[in-house]
Structure 1
Amino acid sequence: MAEVAHIGPGDRERRPLLRTALGAALRRHRRSQRRTLADVARDARVSMPYLSELERGRKEASSEVLAAVCDALGVELGDVLTEVGRDLVGNRAAVLRLAPGISAPAPGRLAHRPGDALLLAA
């Protein structure tokens, strides 16, 4: 299964999938607490294989499952989503720096294209 997607007609830019970034953030929180998959899965009341699939970005989690996993980890869902948003923005900046022929928007200006979505984080 792909960890990046090609988005839009003719757009060959590789973009990370939300499920991959979200899974990585959940895994970072679990590992920073030195907890096992089994421990967090039990507390979240999800199966250990399912939690593993979430962390590896192989499954899309419902909002209820995300809330349960965040509760089991003792972190706020909004904080995890903000972290994921920052990761995605940081990845976008890295792509702009590394990709030849792609110019970054002027400071303080957002580049908009049809179909772009804007992520706002508090």
Structure 2
Amino acid sequence: MGDVVAFPAPQAPEPSRPEPLWREAVGHELRSERQQAGRTLTDVAEQSGVSMQYLSEVERGLKEPSSEILGAVAGALGLRLVDLTARVTRSIGRMSGPVCLAA
């Protein structure tokens, strides 16, 4: 029988700040895109079929929107859901610092 090699369990680095929540990063990206396009909450809410109050809460990271809501809001902003997801992933990576991935 061959030798068994034991590898130490990976240790997660202690974060200097807590990781952002997905809903906060999504909200930040949606608000940033809306403001960059010069659009109002009312305009985007109406076009996406959600209430202005709900969209405001999503943008502030207070609500966890469904994929249908995200798709509707992203579409109203001219984004594909996959592009929004990629932006959020990059944003979280920048906020969290280096990430170690195990193969």
Structure 1 gap ranges (5+):
1-10, 94-103, 113-122
Match of 1:70 among 45, 59, 74: 74
Q: TM-score, normalised by structure 2?
A: 0.79
Name the structure, 1 or 2, with higher relative contact order (CA <8 Å, separation 6+): 2
More strand by share: 1
Moved over 3 A (4+): none
Task: Give 1:91 shift.
Answer: 1.2
Q: TM-score, normalised by structure 1?
A: 0.67
**C-alpha RMSD over aligned residues:** 1.8
Tell me which structure has the larger Cα radius of gyration.
Answer: 2
SS at match of 1:16: coil
Provide the C-alpha distance between the structure 2 equivalents of 1:34 and 1:48, rounded to a whole number of angstroms: 16
Match of 1:34 among 31, 38, 43: 38
Deviations 1:21-79 (A, max 9, x none): 00000001100110000000000000000000000000000000000001111111111
Provide the C-alpha distance between the structure 1 equivalents of 2:57 and 2:41, rounded to a whole number of angstroms: 11
What is the total number of aligned residue pairs between the two structures?
88
Q: Percent identity?
A: 44
